[in-house]
Structure 1
Amino acid sequence: MHIVYVSDGKAGHRSQALGLFKALQRQSTATVSFEEISIEDLALFSLVTGLFRRSISQLKTPPDLIIGVGSHTQLRVLLLGKTYSKAKTVILMKPNYPLAWFDYSVIPEHDGISASDCVIVTQGALNPIVDEQRHQSGRILIALGGSSKRHQWNADKVFTSIEQIVKQHPKNEIIITTSRRTPEQFVERLNAHPFLPHVHFFPVEHTPQGWIFEEMQKAEAVWVTEDSVSMIYEALTAGCRVGVIAMDRMKQDRITASVDALLAKSIVIETADLAQLPPPNAFKEAERVATYLLAH
């Protein structure tokens, strides 16, 4: 099976496509290959002319599966699907076009679309993580986000939550990290704080690619600020117990609703006590989607 991923260059979108590719690779009895092509290399004129030739020169191998994530990839996925009629088209989001135009749409449940033969509803976006069963008892990871379209960063509120987690777990190894959105002043505040020897601070600028995924494999529990929804689902997929650090909300939307749904089901909770966190959930959404696609 050859997969062509139409890329818009966004790391979060690529993570979803890689998650599905790796799940298909794990489950398929045949060889599964992956080819990534940027939307910048797929001029619409070349795609339209490719309809008549039944191929385009930019692709090395005819695809069996054409994947797109992001609004700007959808038209190109459609045109590639028309060019390579034997391939199946898969959009990993709620599409801007009619659902029937794609063979499959993989849509997070917070978008409110019902499952059908061509719609696979998931809990959150896909990611490439699997639970490697390497969690160390008592090891804690605190992952910080920042302001977003729907959240306002409240430095004192977040810092108080961190202090409560640290204070309640004096014998636990605690790792704190930030994201690109974490305010610089807050990073400086953490750097200047006299944390105890069991607390280690790693700003995102000082971590290599894949570092946080490795930390999730080692952590028993992960606390995530509620703006970082994708990271909440990544921690759940990694097999961690997950706590949410509340933030000030500027508005309610489908993303905040997805966090509220996790809280309502007690899949994650707001607490500073490791003992109160829910047990790990078996989040294997990429595996489930791969199983469905291979069966159909």
Structure 2
Amino acid sequence: MIPDPLRILCVGDGSPGHEKQTLAMAEAFGRISSVELRWLRVPQGRAFDFYSRMAALTFPVFPFFRNAVLKKTGWEDKDFSPHLIMAAGSHTHGSLLVLAKYYKARTLICMTPDFLVQRQVDLVLSPLHDGKKAGPGLLHTLGPPCRRPAPSLRNNDQGLILVGGVDASSHIWDTKILIRQMEDLLERKTIMRWQVGSSPRTPAETEEALSLLAEKYDRLSFTPFAKAAPGWVESAYARSAEAWITGDSMSMVYEALTAGCRVGVLPVRWVKINSKFQRSLDYLHEKGWVLYPGEEAAGEIPRLDEATRAAEEAVKRWWKKD
């Protein structure tokens, strides 16, 4: 039977994207059982990363390393004995393993870790596009676990466009092509009003072009990432019937699906011909989850909720809840 309350310790690395995944899982467990939640954020730097992994490998032979890691993290709440420790991001893995052995707790990691870490945790949530084999300790998910938005009145005339940006290792960014795609969208969907948001990766020239586009179309407003209030994108998901997202922003595609939006993808050119991200998008497209430019949704798209599905599967595996 699942503990009540379920004590969860989330290990964070300061990355908003990573910590949103961990928080999504904590909230999903909270929909199954009452939860007591604590956060621990690990120090930055490769030295601590290496040191914490060594402490995990030598536990309990050299307790000095273990105790040093616990001290370095600043973890003071020793009386909070978690049933479950969760994390996302490779920088958290060493600390998670040390804490799990210290407390004899269950462990869950979002995103596929390296092989050595994977062998030591109870459950890995591995995006399907990573191509890893499912098994007792690895559960496939459609993208990362995402938070459910707060209930809101959705406006059928409201649309959202989210723009990614430069990442030379994965794709070729082209502002002119993006603007052309957006103009085509605006000309096809003449009755909709659009909010546009950028990201930390969006180049200055792209943001300038988006500002000019907003001047050209009075039913389009642009909020640069630097000026967006906390929670802006989550509120926009909740209000929007439709969201179009550049193909490089995979996490936002899954966030919008989880929020219940109809989702379209504005394609980018990938560096690798057989990009795992494009394979993931093509899988979603084949299943009817996302649209490509020029397409219209044939009917209602079921809401994605991978965090809840993963939490229910973990409970079934560990605590045999009916």
Using structure 2 for the length normalisation, give the TM-score: 0.83
- Distance change >3 Å, CA 99–CA 25, structure 1 → 2: same
Matching residue of 1:198 = 219
1:37 to 14, 36, 40: 40
Q: What is the CA RMSD across the aligned residues, in angstroms? A: 2.4
Any residues of structure 2 matched to 1:53-92 within 5 Å, and which?
A: 58-60=75-77, 61-85=80-104, 87-92=105-110
Any residues of structure 2 matched to 1:164-243 within 5 Å, and which?
A: 164-193=184-213, 194-243=215-264
Q: Does residue 260 of the first structure (1) align with residue 282 of the second (2)?
A: yes
Matching residue of 2:177 = 157
Once the two structures are TM-superposed, the CA of residue 13 in structure 1 deviates from its matched residue by 0.6
Q: Is this contact kept in 2: 1:271–1:277, CA < 8 A?
A: no
The amino acid across from 1:83 in the alignment is: Y
Q: Give the whole-Å Cα distance in 2 for the aligned partners of 1:70 and 1:276.
A: 35
Q: Give the whole-Å Cα distance in 2 for the aligned partners of 1:70 and 1:7.
A: 8
Q: Give the whole-Å Cα distance in 1 for the aligned partners of 2:216 and 2:66.
A: 62
Q: How many residues align?
A: 291
Matching residue of 1:115 = 134
Matching residue of 1:19 = 24
Q: Is this contact kept in 2: 1:216–1:240, CA < 8 A?
A: yes
Percent of aligned pairs with the same amino acid? 28
Q: Does residue 103 of the first structure (1) align with residue 122 of the second (2)?
A: yes
* Unmatched runs of 5 consecutive residues or more in structure 1: none
Once the two structures are TM-superposed, the CA of residue 272 in structure 1 deviates from its matched residue by 4.2
Once the two structures are TM-superposed, the CA of residue 201 in structure 1 deviates from its matched residue by 1.6
The amino acid across from 1:177 in the alignment is: G
Tell me, what secondary structure is at the counterpart of 2:31?
A: helix
The amino acid across from 1:2 in the alignment is: R
Moved more, 10-19 or 56-65: 56-65
Q: Is this contact kept in 1: 2:55–2:94, CA < 8 A?
A: no
Once the two structures are TM-superposed, the CA of residue 50 in structure 1 deviates from its matched residue by 7.8
Using structure 1 for the length normalisation, give the TM-score: 0.89
Tell me, what secondary structure is at the counterpart of 2:113?
A: coil
The amino acid across from 1:92 in the alignment is: C
* Unmatched runs of 5 consecutive residues or more in structure 2: 1-5, 57-62
Once the two structures are TM-superposed, the CA of residue 130 in structure 1 deviates from its matched residue by 3.9
- Distance change >3 Å, CA 46–CA 107, structure 1 → 2: closer
Tell me, what secondary structure is at the counterpart of 1:40?
A: coil
Q: Give the whole-Å Cα distance in 2 for the aligned partners of 1:121 and 1:201.
A: 36
